Structure 1
Amino acid sequence: MTLSDSPAQLTSAVNALASLPGMPEKIDAARQACTQLRWHNALRRRIPEAAAESRVRGAWASGELDGARLSVDIVRDLMRGAVTWHDDPDPVEQVMRGVVAATAETERLRPVVLTAPMQALARLHTAAAAGLVPDDELGRPRRDGEDCREFVEIGPAPPATEARERLLRVVELLASASTLPVPVVAALAHAEIVTARPFTRGNGVVARAVERAVIQAGGLDPTGVAVPEAGHGTGGGPAYLGGLTAYTRGDAAGVGLWLTHCCDAIVAGAAEGEVIADAVLAGRRT
């Protein structure tokens, strides 16, 4: 699937997807799960603490989906500065460094992700890919002749020209999010970034970070305590890639399967957020 060209067509297309059989119920379930999380007793006064732990678990889960596996405890220590990265990091550390930086950056993107989406995308990619690509590739889409070899399981990356066009449509989608169902906007932005692969590297990390930022900035989870990345990992990497592969078919059934996966991921992510809130309330996360 590719997003429509004009704002009116885009709005119509997104609303049509939100009306696919079974989708209204899935969207409502995602909203209800986040609303329930929002009223957790721990979030009356301790949102920053819970949100910080959410970013820890989000970074850990996002790294797992990229094949970079570190324990949650190590990721937590890295994010709070209790331990430092090695001077000569191995490939896992190189990837996780970007995952941690991009997930941490989402905390600062709330004012801009829906108002200046291209700026937000550039900031996320710079965080995600620093040290993995040459500096002149950071924060910008692929140029003609530049390729991306990520997500080969779902097919080859489109040419750079097409990838840039699709990224511009993602920008238009995010700028229109205030009038559209937030779970669908977040899911489409995620899938388009992964399938178009507009950057030479770091597309999955950017896509998952964008989804987290949109869910928060769009008011679905204003506390930032839900962990959608963990929701995507609930069925393991194959389920995540299966949903993205279905999306690439471009038909209603395939796109609907991905949207369902994303709504379910939000529900599971809100449940993980409740686990975090319970731990904060009990004084186990300080």
Structure 2
Amino acid sequence: MTADPHAWLIGLEGVPSGFAGARDGIDVLLRDRGLRRTSPELTAESLLRGAHASAVLEGSGSSLDDVRADAGDEIAVSAVRISTELLGLLPVLRQQPLQAFARLHTLAARGILPDEMLGRPRDGEAASKLRGIAELVTAPSKAPALAVAAVVHAELISAAPFGSHNGLVARATERLLLAVKGVDEKSLVVPEAAHLALRPQYESNLRGWAEGGPAGMHAWLLYATEAYAAAADASPLVRP
């Protein structure tokens, strides 16, 4: 039997309870406020808001209105291009995560990097790290689904396996995992907007994950419990 790669986080103080609380909030939102008025338009709005927020975190200067008007800068265009194909990658991420990562990067960097670099890890070390992250996606685990999404997100950021746009790939993967793991199958919460609203904490805790050892990793997971609660509040179900 394959060891659970996420087993280490289950015993961390405040982590299981924090993710349970965040999951309860998302469940309440989707059950009590979403089921009767969920529509493809609401999912599209959530994806658009997420694309804008992810682009800003990647360095875009475009506003949400710019993105709505199809007038965003190059990074925003990349983020929107990802969002238009994102949910079609659900079965790919579930079964072949390496292919999903490659497709996300291709969508992000098309027209920016040379074609031979699209979807390809920077080097052998990056390829090895990417294979390890793919195993985190597919391995059976008793850890909360939200925690798995947070870990994969942080690992993709810290590994920076591609030549550009690693943040866009990581945040898109996080959103996909929330759907794949059954947390938010219609992709109505907006984790990217939560990270943008909490940007100083988001960026400092990502550095902690990469550089701060066990304490930094613990801090990232505690941050993620707060971010996922904020992701529910950012949903178009709450804020039309």
State the TM bucket, normalised to the shorter chain.
over 0.9
Larger displacement relative to structure 2 (197-206 or 185-194):
185-194
Say what the alpha-carbon RMSD is for the aligned residues: 1.9
* 1:165 aligns to 2:105 (yes or no): no
In the alignment, which of 51, 57, 70 is matched to residue 65 of structure 1?
Answer: 57
Larger displacement relative to structure 2 (47-56 or 103-112):
103-112
Conserved 8 A contact 2:10-2:143: no
Conserved 8 A contact 1:229-1:265: no
Tell me which residue corresponds to 1:114: 94
Q: Distance in 1 between matches of 2:33 and 2:237?
A: 8
Conserved 8 A contact 1:18-1:184: no
In the alignment, which of 184, 197, 201 is matched to residue 239 of structure 1?
Answer: 201
Please state whether the residue corresponding to 1:112 is helix, strand or coil: helix
Q: Distance in 2 between matches of 1:198 and 1:230?
A: 24
Tell me which residue corresponds to 2:28: 36
Shift of 1:177: 5.4
* 1:256 aligns to 2:234 (yes or no): no
Larger displacement relative to structure 2 (197-206 or 67-76):
67-76
* 1:204 aligns to 2:156 (yes or no): no
Shift of 1:54: 0.4
**Residues 235/108 of structure 1: CA separation in 2 closer, same or farther (3 Å cut):** same
Tell me which residue corresponds to 1:102: 82
Which residues in structure 2 correspond to 1:142-181 (within 5 Å)? 142-143=122-123, 161-176=124-139, 179-181=142-144
Q: Distance in 2 between matches of 1:165 and 1:7?
A: 19
Q: Distance in 2 between matches of 1:186 and 1:166?
A: 17
In the alignment, which of 160, 166, 181 is matched to residue 218 of structure 1?
Answer: 181
* 1:272 aligns to 2:229 (yes or no): no
* 1:135 aligns to 2:95 (yes or no): no
Shift of 1:197: 0.8
Aligned-partner residue type, residue 249 of structure 1? E
Tell me which residue corresponds to 2:17: 25
Aligned-partner residue type, residue 112 of structure 1? V
Structure 2: runs of 5+ lacking an equivalent: none
Conserved 8 A contact 1:162-1:196: no
Conserved 8 A contact 2:9-2:143: no
**Residues 53/178 of structure 1: CA separation in 2 closer, same or farther (3 Å cut):** farther
Q: 1:18-57: per-residue Cα shift (whole Å, max 9, x none)? A: 3200001111012112101211444324331211110111
Please state whether the residue corresponding to 1:139 is helix, strand or coil: coil
Q: Distance in 1 between matches of 2:117 and 2:21?
A: 39
**Residues 140/70 of structure 1: CA separation in 2 closer, same or farther (3 Å cut):** same
Q: Distance in 2 between matches of 1:210 and 1:263?
A: 17
Q: Distance in 2 between matches of 1:33 and 1:173?
A: 25
Percent sequence identity over matched residues? 38
Shift of 1:179: 4.9
Please state whether the residue corresponding to 1:248 is helix, strand or coil: helix
Aligned-partner residue type, residue 71 of structure 1? S
* 1:46 aligns to 2:38 (yes or no): yes
In the alignment, which of 123, 126, 149 is matched to residue 103 of structure 2?
Answer: 123
Please state whether the residue corresponding to 2:73 is helix, strand or coil: helix
Tell me which residue corresponds to 1:148: none
TM-score (norm 1): 0.78
Please state whether the residue corresponding to 2:90 is helix, strand or coil: coil
Q: Distance in 1 between matches of 2:125 and 2:212?
A: 15
Please state whether the residue corresponding to 1:259 is helix, strand or coil: helix
Larger displacement relative to structure 2 (105-114 or 202-211):
105-114
